[in-house]
Amino acid sequence: MIANPAQTTRHHLANQAAPDFSLIRKICACGNASTAKQLSQHGKCAACALAAIRDAIMPGDFAKLQHMLGAVKQYPKSKWGWRNYYAAGGGQTHEAMQRLVVAGLATAGRAANEMTYFHATRLGCKAAGLDGAGIKRAMEDES
Ligand SMILES: [Zn+2]
């Protein structure tokens, strides 16, 4: 496409006069700017998506997610993601894991001896506070 400065200006002015739908969708409901891709995929900015996830799970679930990833204060943050599994039997632990799965924070892996191994997803790693290197570490350990 050949750029036409005059046309670009007209489009810009039109947007200012009456913001079109695509422009509105680049602002999250919270008022923060977000990418069109993020908003079309999640319907909200990354911060709001994370807040919605935290609302969807129980407080204790989040601690289990952190435990799953070794993202606990006994370990320096640079080590977080050194593990990525949580063996759940039946009952409350399993229910907690299911909530994490529904929230997109974890996936169910292999089952053995009446235990199911759950692993944090990339989103789960992010939610637990892992940085890029930690997420990479955790994803490699997912076995
Ligand atoms: Zn938002």
Distance, CA of 143 to CA of 48 (rounded, Å): 30
Q: 130 CA distance to ligand 1 centroid (A)? A: 21
* Gap from CA of 111 to ligand 1 centroid (Å): 37
> How far is the centre of ligand 1, averaged over its atoms, from the C-alpha of 53 (Å)?
13
Residues 76 and 123 in one domain: yes
What is the token pair recorded at 102?
């529904």
Backbone angles phi, psi at 15, to 5 degrees: -65, -40
Residues 6+ apart with CB under 8 A from 73: none
Same domain, 119 and 95: yes
Supply the pLDDT for residue 141: 61
CA of 31 to the centre of ligand 1 (A): 6
Instruction: Tell me, in angstroms, the distance from the centre of ligand 1 to residue 39's CA.
Output: 9
Same domain membership, residue 129 and residue 67: yes
On whether both 6 and 39 belong to a single domain, the answer is yes
Core vs surface per residue 101-135: b (16+ CB within 10 A) or e: eebbbbeebeeeeeebbbbbbebbbbbbebeeebb
User: What is the number of structural domains in the chain?
Assistant: 2
pLDDT exceeds cutoff 90 at 36: no
129 & 141 share domain: yes
Beta bridge partners of 27: 33
Residues 64 and 2 in one domain: no
Domain boundary among 56, 73, 99: 56
Structural domain for 94, as ranges: 58-143
Of 131 and 42, which is predicted with more confidence?
131
Between vectors from CA 60 to CA 57 and to CA 62, what angle results, nearest 5°?
60
User: Which has the higher per-residue pLDDT, 6 or 64?
Assistant: 64
CA of 114 to the centre of ligand 1 (A): 40
pLDDT in tens, 20-29: 454 455 889 9
How confident is the model over 48-98, as pLDDT tens digits? 988 888 788 888 999 999 999 999 999 999 999 999 999 999 899 999 999
Output the six-digit token pair for 20.
Answer: 């079109």
